[in-house]
Amino acid sequence: MGEFAFIAELFAPLATDAHALGLLDDASLVDLPDGVQGVVTKDVLVEGVHFLEGTDPARIAQKLLRVNLSDLAAMGAESVGYWLGVQLRKEGAREWLSRFVEGLRSDQLEFDISLMGGDTVSTPGPVSLSLTAMGQVPKGAALKRSGAQPGDRICVSGTIGDGVLGLGASRGRLDGLSQDQHDYLVSRLECPTPRLALGKALRGVASSAIDISDGLVGDAGHIAAASKVGLAIDAEKVPLSDAAKAALTMGLTGLEELLSGGDDYELLFTGLGESIKAITDAGVGVTEIGEVVSGKGVQVSFKGEEMTFPKGGFTHF
């Protein structure tokens, strides 16, 4: 049974409040005064699963905060505050936390967000961290996964596949890349950029949106399922970084891995073509990669041939 099957079968029946959105979206909504809705999301990072032992704690802190901010971005929200949970080994805790807090402090300044509370406990290991972030949107303006319609264009921000390649680079599996390419990919893994400005710009423009945490193909499948449509993606149009192109050319990776690997934290969204083309002030490149069609599921083609993805995208179970 996969991660999303667990959620659908066991947890979704507990989400009885309509603001939980059936656990189908990146966050839940909370009605607030003055025509505002709170947007609440939570992520967990575990040593050995989401980051390697020995990773700079400042980078871990930045990733923890930024993956939650990415969820807010996917719903068009502006950040408000966050609550932190830390499970940490006793040995070296003071030094580890000092460096961890440096990362949080830097990102709080960059993204205009504040720590609001939390809890810290000891553990024999591994290190486990959780963060709950809250944002806000005008009431009724939140982006969801469920609005895609046949005829909508499919777009993605930034470049795809850097996250999974960053993991390979950090594990020494991409020998042959230049040092600059190696460092770029590791940085994309450890310190993703939440597309908050783009998410805000997509309010009233995008018919659906999601952040790419589990891979382009897998997360496209979430939009397809929530919207009850099909997504047809042209793999030749998917934007790749120079480092990813180099890895592909050298045979260090395959296109299937780039399209199904996780940790990119770019936005995947749908909408009418002319409206999407008007998004020019969000500070990030946007590329059209396909079309919403009738039917269900995700179809990916490369030079007219259908691609297959046995796993579809990353899942924890």
DSSP string for 193-230? ---HHHHHHTTTT-SEEEE-SS-HHHHHHHHHHHHT-E
pLDDT (tens digit, 9 = 90+) per residue, 190-246?
A: 999 999 999 999 999 999 999 999 999 999 999 999 999 999 999 999 999 999 999
Query: Does 169 score more than 70 pLDDT?
Result: yes
Q: pLDDT value at position 284?
A: 84
pLDDT exceeding 90 applies to what percent of the chain?
72
pLDDT at 117: 81
End-to-end CA distance of the chain: 7
Looking at residue 274, its pLDDT comes to: 77
Amino acid at 21: L
pTM recorded for the entire structure: 0.88
Mean pLDDT of the 156-185 span: 96
Judged by average pLDDT, the poorest of 45-54, 61-70, 147-156, 278-287 is: 278-287
Q: What percent of the chain has pLDDT above 70?
A: 93
- Confidence label for 121 from pLDDT (cuts 50, 70 and 90): confident
pLDDT of residue 2: 64
Cβ within 8 Å of residue 306, ≥6 positions away: 299, 300
What is the Cα–Cα distance from 129 to 61, expressed in whole angstroms? 9
Per-residue pLDDT at 94: 87
pLDDT greater than 60 at residue 26 = no
pLDDT above 70 (res 313): no
Averaged pLDDT for residues 126-150:
96
Question: What's the pLDDT at 244?
Answer: 98
- pLDDT, tens digit, for every residue of 46-89? 998 888 888 999 999 999 999 999 999 999 999 988 898 999 99
Structure tokens that stand for 189 in this block: 């893994």
Structure confidence at residue 95 (pLDDT): 92
- Three-state SS at 312: coil
Task: Spell out the domains of the chain, with CATH numbers in brackets.
Answer: 3-138 (3.30.1330.10), 153-306 (3.90.650.10)
- Residue 49 has a pLDDT of 85
184 or 85, greater pLDDT? 184
Total count of residues recorded for the chain: 317
Average pLDDT for the chain: 90
pLDDT in tens, 94-112: 899 999 999 999 999 999 9
Phi, psi of 34, rounded to the nearest 5 degrees: 60, 35
Rounded to an integer, the average pLDDT of 251-270 is: 96
Check residue 149 and give its pLDDT. Answer: 97
Interacting residues of 52 by C-beta distance below 8 A, sequence separation 6+: 170, 171
- Encoded tokens for 231: 């997504």
Q: Residue 18: its pLDDT value, please?
A: 77
